[in-house]
Amino acid sequence: MTSRGRLLFLSLTVPLAAVTTVLLTKAIQYPALGTSTVLTILLLGLATAIRNRIKGEAPQRTAPLDAKNTGCLVLVFLFLALAVVLPADRPWNAPWWPGRHESTSLPDPCAVGLSAAATLVPAGTATAETDDDGAYGPTRDCTWQDPERTSSLRLSYQLVRWPGSLGGTATDTARDAFANDLTVGTPTALPGIGDEARRAVSASFQDLRARKANVLVEVTLISAHHDAARTAAVERLLRTAVNHIRVG
């Protein structure tokens, strides 16, 4: 291969190899990106064809492509490939897409709620639970139960994962889950907490829920009595819990 041919080969295949690597990595991380896997194979095939053309290894009945024609072929192929892949995979909905502000981890609910629990359930003992296979993604819970089992406080986080190419964003899924989640009693809105929040109260039950990006938060207090101070403390806990959520 001549120096000019080698330079042409590198200028075309190196960008293709970079794109191929990114697509393959994402396809492994997110199996829903099936179309990206197909594109990866096609890009590898195109890189091989370009190399063979430049080396003159194409069938003798056709002449090797010059630099101009090869470049046009690459641009046309990439345009057609992206026209097929982008609508199908919708990568702009993925968590790794630049500018997508979503969370990838959950705070420790026992640490977040420790101070509030000391006020609301002074003699309560904390029990932590973690579930990596929740309905929408991993969950982290912490419950404080008093020895007489007459009152308890529970703080729960749920991380909503990206549903993949066939759905919207993780935040879209979290928004739908929050809207459709049933609560006891008639909920009222709590403005200024996260992206949305609400409270439902009964005689011995307070249930406060909030959403920030793709994370759902729930604070539940079961107690024989409720007063203004305890109601305010539960709301402060919800606000604190939301503020501990980190989005990228």
- Average pLDDT rounded to a whole number, residues 13-30: 60
Q: Is the pLDDT of residue 83 over 60?
A: no
pLDDT of residue 234 exceeding 60: yes
Domain boundary residue, one of 61, 89, 117 = 89
Instruction: Tell me if 137 is assigned to some domain.
Output: yes
Mean pLDDT of 77-93: 59
Does 226 share its domain with 166?
yes
Under DSSP, is residue 156 helix (H, G, I), strand (E, B) or coil? strand
**Under a CB-based contact definition with an 8 Å cutoff, are residues 173 and 167 in contact?**
yes
**Which of 54, 89, 124 is the C-terminal boundary of a domain?**
89
Element (DSSP H or E) covering residue 3: helix 3-29
Question: What percent of the chain is predicted at pLDDT more than 90?
Answer: 44
Task: Give pLDDT, residue 31.
Answer: 47
pLDDT at 181: 83
Decide if pLDDT at 81 tops 70.
no
**pLDDT band at residue 172 using 50, 70 and 90 as cut-offs:** very high
148 and 232, same domain (yes or no): yes
Which of 10-14, 63-67, 101-105, 215-219 comes out lowest in average pLDDT? 63-67
Which of 33, 60, 89 is the C-terminal boundary of a domain? 89
Q: How far is CA 93 from CA 40, 59, 118, 194, in A?
A: 20, 43, 41, 21
Q: Output 123-132 pairs: Cβ under 8 A, ≥24 positions apart.
A: 123/147, 124/151, 124/152, 124/153
Which residues on neighbouring strands pair with residue 129, listed in sequence order?
141
Q: Does pLDDT of 112 surpass 70?
A: yes
Q: What is the Cα 200 distance to its own chain's centre?
A: 28
Residues pairing with 198 in the sheet: 189, 209
Does 169 lie in the same domain as 47? no
In the prediction, which pLDDT does 60 show?
47
Residues 6+ apart with CB under 8 A from 121: 144, 145, 146, 151, 152, 153
Residue 23 lies in a domain: yes
Tell me, yes or no, whether 101 lies in a domain.
Answer: no
- What pLDDT score was predicted for residue 230? 92
Rounded CA separation 140/89 (Å): 30
Q: How far apart are CA 181 and CA 200, in angstroms?
A: 12
For the ranges 30-44, 71-85, 120-134, 173-187, the one whose mean pLDDT is highest? 120-134
pLDDT tens-digit readout, 124-153: 999 999 999 888 999 999 999 998 888 999
* pTM for the predicted model, two decimal places: 0.67
Domain that holds residue 38: 3-89
Instruction: Specify whether 132 is located in the same domain as 176.
Output: yes
Do 122 and 83 share a domain, yes or no? no
Give how far Cα 37 sits from Cα of 107, 198, 248, Å. Answer: 34, 42, 27
Look at the chain and report how many structural domains it folds into: 2
CATH label of the domain that carries residue 115: 3.40.1000
Helices (H) and strands (E) in the chain, counts: 7, 7
